[in-house]
């Protein structure tokens, strides 16, 4: 640390459309591959920190997955004659220097030097969007492509899906819903909420199409999730909704703790998944500026 210089730690919320990225995490040395973190850290280089700025991401998302609100902490060390950035100035500066239009910094907070964006999170909520009544993906409105899973079915048995979702609530060993490569030390997680509900008609659907297309939202809340757990739970709930599985079979699959079972190969496509919110003690009730949608704090 430079003589007299002060290091300031910030918590930053940001959002992105994941279509163009190999996930949120930075990609190093792989030609043609890039993560959201690469662009964030490139923008941070323009802040003239004494030491390079590294974003520690709260919640990793895979290639193609979106985020209404992800979070990260970062340290900025300015020269001794420069005061720390205010959170408002930092937010504006990062957005000014971001070079990808699918990423936006929402807000920043000053936090203690021991704060950790991943470990301190008390809640994470994921949203998964489905569309029914779409015989082929190319029949979706262009504005909805890569933002939902288009099912060829005309309808879903939502009551059966809701019944199946109840089996997943609570504290369980979720090994059956964990993909290979998970870094988690334990497969035990507590699922606080799992809901299935109709979405309001998409504003991007023409009136003559709205009678055919129906959108649905699945939401899952937990302090943390296993690798691809949400996409695997979604795939099984969709199978229930399509009549391929009974609700009771979801409980049997959960109890099996077997990630390689007959039905566990189902994984919902990445492009329908959104990280909706990451909450922290003492920060979850703060309000965003008016232009930021309220959904970035819900969950």
Q: What is the mean pLDDT of the chain?
A: 90
What percentage of the chain carries pLDDT values higher than 70?
92
Residue 141 has pLDDT above 90, yes or no: no
Can you give the pLDDT at residue 210? 67
Q: Between the CA of residue 150 and those of 28, 154, 238, what are the distances in Å? A: 33, 10, 11
DSSP at 294: G
The whole-angstrom separation of Cα 161 and Cα 164 is 5
**Domains recognised in the chain with CATH numbers:** 7-110 (3.30.70.580), 121-280 (3.30.70.660)
Can you give the pLDDT at residue 289? 39
**What is the pairing mode between strands 121-132 and 149-150?**
parallel
Q: According to the annotation, is 227 in a ligand binding site?
A: no
pTM listed for this prediction: 0.90
Q: Which helix (H) or strand (E) holds 41?
A: helix 36-44
Can you give the pLDDT at residue 293? 38
For 265, the token pair is: 């190969």
| Other beta carbons less than 10 A from residue 94's beta carbon | 25
Say whether 230 sits in a helix, a strand or coil: helix
Taking only the tens place, the pLDDT of each residue in 211-245 is 788 999 999 999 999 999 999 999 999 999 999 99
The whole-angstrom separation of Cα 103 and Cα 208 is 33
75 is catalytic: no
Taking only the tens place, the pLDDT of each residue in 144-200 is 889 999 999 999 999 999 999 999 999 999 999 998 877 788 999 999 999 999 987
Residue 283 has pLDDT above 70, yes or no: yes
For the residues 249-266, what does the mean pLDDT come to? 91
Q: Between the CA of residue 253 and those of 69, 100, 195, 211, what are the distances in Å? A: 31, 41, 19, 35
Phi, psi of 221 (to 5 degrees): -125, 135
Question: Where is pLDDT greater, at 59 or 202?
Answer: 59
The whole-angstrom separation of Cα 201 and Cα 171 is 34
The whole-angstrom separation of Cα 92 and Cα 104 is 10
Q: Between the CA of residue 83 and those of 5, 6, 7, 217, 266, what are the distances in Å? A: 9, 8, 10, 45, 52
**What is the pairing mode between strands 149-150 and 103-111?**
unpaired
Question: Pick the catalytic residue: 62, 75, 157, 199?
Answer: 62
Can you give the pLDDT at residue 68? 98
Can you give the pLDDT at residue 3? 53
């Amino acid at each position: 640390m430079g003589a007299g210089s002060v290091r300031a730690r910030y918590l930053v919320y940001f959002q992105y459309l994941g279509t163009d990225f190999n996930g949120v995490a930075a990609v190093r040395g792989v030609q043609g591959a890039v993560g959201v973190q690469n662009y964030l850290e490139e923008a941070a280089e323009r802040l003239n920190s004494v030491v390079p700025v590294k974003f520690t991401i709260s919640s990793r998302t895979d290639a193609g997955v979106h985020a209404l609100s992800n979070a990260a902490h970062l340290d900025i060390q300015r020269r001794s004659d420069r005061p720390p950035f205010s959170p408002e100035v930092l937010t504006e500066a990062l957005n000014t220097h971001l070079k990808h239009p699918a990423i936006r910094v929402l807000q920043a907070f000053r936090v203690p030097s021991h704060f950790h964006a991943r470990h301190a999170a008390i809640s994470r909520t994921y949203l998964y969007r489905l569309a029914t009544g779409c015989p082929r993906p190319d029949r979706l409105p262009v504005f909805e492509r890569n933002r939902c899973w288009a099912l060829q079915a005309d309808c879903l048995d939502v009551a059966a899906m809701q019944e199946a979702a109840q089996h997943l609530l609570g504290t369980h060993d979720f090994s059956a819903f964990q993909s290979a490569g998970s870094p988690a030390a334990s497969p035990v997680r507590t699922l606080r909420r799992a809901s299935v509900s109709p979405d309001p008609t998409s504003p991007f659907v023409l009136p003559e199409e709205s009678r055919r297309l129906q959108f649905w939202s699945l939401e899952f809340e937990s302090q943390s999730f296993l690798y691809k757990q949400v996409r695997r739970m979604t795939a099984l709930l969709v199978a229930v909704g399509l009549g391929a599985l009974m609700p009771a079979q979801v409980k049997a699959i959960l109890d099996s703790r077997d990630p390689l079972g007959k039905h566990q190969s189902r994984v919902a496509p990445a492009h329908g998944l959104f990280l909706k919110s990451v909450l922290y003690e003492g920060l979850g009730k703060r309000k965003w500026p008016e232009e930021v949608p309220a959904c970035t704090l819900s969950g």
